[in-house]
């Protein structure tokens, strides 16, 4: 699970969002690691066995069109790009032409909700509205069915997935560390492993060859984080942003002191 590539203003901004943004060189190193032993990512719309790698990119930031898709094209690869539809055409985000170009190049374009909320805090009717509005916007842009989504902010529950399935989605990407797709109300729910700016290429390589150690390490980190997320709900994201911003200020202050 990737987000944006590049340090320019692309996608969501702030300490919480920026920690997911890889540099171009960092992303290139990840792609080299993924390609090890002849590995090639696939799409959920492809046929094939269970042991497959899928690259996903959340939020719908401009780097999807300006940086990520061209870098994938150099290898003949395709990915899944999930768009926050309320942000289409706003500064830092994809516009309608970008979205059509991604689909025309063979990438999967899907929903990342309409307003990027914490889904688990919403009533069923509100969740349905998020999925249906986003679906309608994207289908109007693409003139094609949209049946793939990723859940924003990492807050997923079976209820969120079930409502998405009822809205007509058939492939539901979560942020939970599963290896096997799980059937859900006529759809499939997929696990993902989150990649941060600080994630080394070697760790990505381990995940792509399904190393038990790499998978267990990432799963343990996710489950440790899931407890405060579940307890704090919608307040978790705000508290994390405050702590990350405070940490960034402390680091800069220490750097200035060290340079004196």
pLDDT in tens, the chain (260 residues): 999 999 777 999 988 899 999 999 999 999 999 999 899 999 998 876 668 999 999 999 999 999 999 999 999 999 999 999 999 999 999 999 999 999 999 999 999 999 999 999 999 999 999 999 999 999 999 999 999 999 999 999 999 999 999 999 999 999 999 899 999 999 999 999 999 999 999 999 999 999 999 999 988 988 887 665 555 555 545 544 444 445 444 434 444 454 45
Domain-embedded: residue 250 = yes
At 179, list the tokens. 């290896």
Query: Does residue 3 fall inside a structural domain?
Result: no
What CATH number has the domain bearing residue 105? 3.20.20.370
> Cβ of 197: how many Cβ atoms within 10 Å?
16
Task: Supply the pTM of this predicted model.
Answer: 0.86
Has residue 7 been placed in a domain? no
- Looking at the DSSP bridge assignments, the partners of residue 22 are 5
3-class secondary-structure state, position 80: strand
Within a domain: residue 66? Answer: yes
Q: Specify if 8 maps to a domain.
A: no
Does residue 247 sit within a domain? yes
DSSP H stretches of helix in 105-174: 124-142, 158-166
Residue 97 in domain: yes
Q: Is residue 5 part of a domain?
A: no
State the pairing for strand pair 171-173/148-150. Answer: parallel
- By residue range, what is the domain housing residue 57? 15-259
Degrees to nearest 5, angle at CA 100 with 38 and 94:
90
Q: How many domains does the chain have?
A: 1
């Amino acid at each position: 699970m990737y987000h944006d590539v590049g340090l320019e203003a692309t996608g969501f901004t702030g300490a919480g969002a920026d920690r997911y943004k890889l540099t171009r060189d960092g992303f290139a190193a990840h792609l080299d690691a993924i390609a090890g032993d002849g590995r090639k990512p696939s799409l959920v719309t492809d046929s094939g066995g269970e042991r497959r790698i899928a690259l996903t990119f959340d939020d719908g930031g401009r780097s999807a069109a300006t940086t990520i898709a061209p870098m994938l094209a150099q290898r003949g690869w395709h990915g899944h790009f999930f768009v926050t539809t309320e942000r289409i055409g706003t500064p830092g985000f994809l516009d309608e032409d970008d979205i059509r170009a991604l689909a025309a190049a063979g990438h999967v374009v899907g929903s990342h909700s309409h307003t990027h909320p914490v889904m688990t805090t919403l009533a069923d009717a509100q969740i349905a509205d998020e999925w249906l509005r986003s679906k309608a916007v994207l289908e109007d842009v693409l003139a094609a069915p949209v049946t793939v989504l990723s859940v924003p902010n990492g807050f997923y529950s079976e209820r969120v997935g079930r409502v998405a399935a009822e809205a007509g989605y058939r492939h539901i990407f979560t942020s939970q560390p599963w290896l096997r797709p799980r059937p859900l109300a006529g759809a499939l729910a997929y696990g993902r492993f989150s990649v941060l700016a600080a994630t080394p290429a070697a760790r990505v390589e381990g995940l792509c060859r399904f190393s038990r150690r790499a998978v267990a390490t990432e799963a343990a980190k996710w489950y440790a984080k899931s407890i405060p997320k579940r307890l704090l709900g919608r307040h978790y994201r705000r508290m994390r942003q405050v702590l990350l911003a405070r940490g960034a200020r402390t680091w800069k202050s220490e750097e200035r002191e060290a340079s004196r």
